[in-house]
Amino acid sequence: MQTITSVFEMQTLAEDLRSKGQIIGLVPTMGALHEGHVSLIKLAAEQADTVVVSIFVNPTQFGPSEDFTKYPRALEADVAACEAAGADIVFAPTAEEIYPKGYSTYVIEEHIAKPLEGVSRPSHFRGVTTVVAKLFNIVRPDLAVFGQKDAQQVAVIKKMVADLHFTVDVVVAPTLREQDGLAMSSRNRYLTATQRIEALVIHRALRKAAGMVAAGECRVDRLIAEATHLIAQHRRVRMIYTSIVDRTTMEAVKGEIVPGKVVMTIAVWVDEIRLIDNELL
C-alpha cells in the first residue's frame, strides 16, 4: 500500500490505473477511522480492483464555531487501518494541496442541502460537495462508498453526481453500530462514559419509531412525538431536530408515511458534542 499527498501524483496514478482497465473505488474520509470506515473500505474492495481511501479533514465543511481545530487526527494509525482493511492507496493531502492560495470556486447543491443539517450548519454541504467533487476529479473513481449514517450527505452527493454528470456509482453502506447501539462516529471518542450512556437514547428513539411503524402506526406526528419524548428525558441531550423525510429529496413528510420510503433523522447535542443518526422506516 502507498500513501500519496500530492494532487498531481494522485491524478497521474489514477490515469495510469484507468488506462490499464482498473476499476477504482474511493472511500472519502476525514480520518480518525473506526470499524464503520473499515466496513466501507472492505465493501469497496469487493467491487473495485484498486481502493483509494482519502484522509482529509476538510476545513470548508466546518462552521466558524465548530470543532475543526480539535477534530481527531491520527494519520499513522489510520494508514495502518487502511492497509489492514485492504486499501491499496491512501490519499492524504494537505489543506494547501486541496485549497491553494487564491482558491475561490465552490460547488453548491441548492435543494436537498437546505433542510435538516442545512438549517443549523448553512455552509456545511457547500464544503462537502466541493471537496467530494474535487476528490472525484483527482481520483477518477468508478465507484465511491459512503455510509448511511450520513443520510442527507448521501442524498446531496447523489444529486450532485446526477446533476453534474459524474460517471461515479455512489454505493451506500449500512450504518455500523457499537454493541450498545450507538452509531459509530469519529466524534464518539469525545464522549465521557456518562455522556455515552446519555447518547444511547438517540438509537432508542429511532428504534421506538421503527417499532411503532412495524405495529401499524404511520402518523408522522405520533412517531416524532414519541421519539422527542424519549430524548427529552435526558438532561444532557438537547434536540437540534427530529424529522421524518423522503429518502431521496430530504423533504419533510406530513400526515402519514409510506413504510419503506422515508427515513427518520435525529441530530442532538450531548453537552457540547454534536451527534446525528437515522433509521429507515
What value does the mean pLDDT take over residues 63-70?
91
pLDDT digits (tens, 9 = 90+) for 128-166: 999 999 999 999 999 999 999 999 999 999 999 999 999
Strands 24-29 and 50-55: parallel
Fold of the CATH domain 2-173: Rossmann fold (3.40.50)
At 173 the pLDDT is 97
pLDDT digits (tens, 9 = 90+) for 210-257: 999 999 999 999 999 999 999 999 999 999 999 999 999 999 999 999
CATH superfamily to which 186-280 belongs: Pantoate-beta-alanine ligase, C-terminal domain (3.30.1300.10)
The verdict on whether 165 is a catalytic residue reads no
pLDDT digits (tens, 9 = 90+) for 93-118: 999 999 999 999 999 999 999 999 99
Instruction: Look at residue 178 and tell me whether its pLDDT is greater than 90.
Output: yes
Each domain of the chain, given as residue ranges in start order, spans 2-173, 186-280
The DSSP result for 48-86, as a single string, is -SEEEEEE---GGGS-TTSSTTTS---HHHHHHHHHHHT
Give the whole-angstrom CA distance, residue 169 versus residue 77: 29
What is the pLDDT confidence band of residue 65, given thresholds at 50, 70 and 90? confident
pTM score, two decimals?
0.96
Please tell me which residue in 34, 37, 111, 234 is annotated as part of the active site: 37
Nearest Cα to Cα of residue 266 among 213, 230, 216, 218: 230
Phi, psi at 236, each rounded to 5°? -80, -15
Give the whole-angstrom CA distance, residue 135 versus residue 151: 20
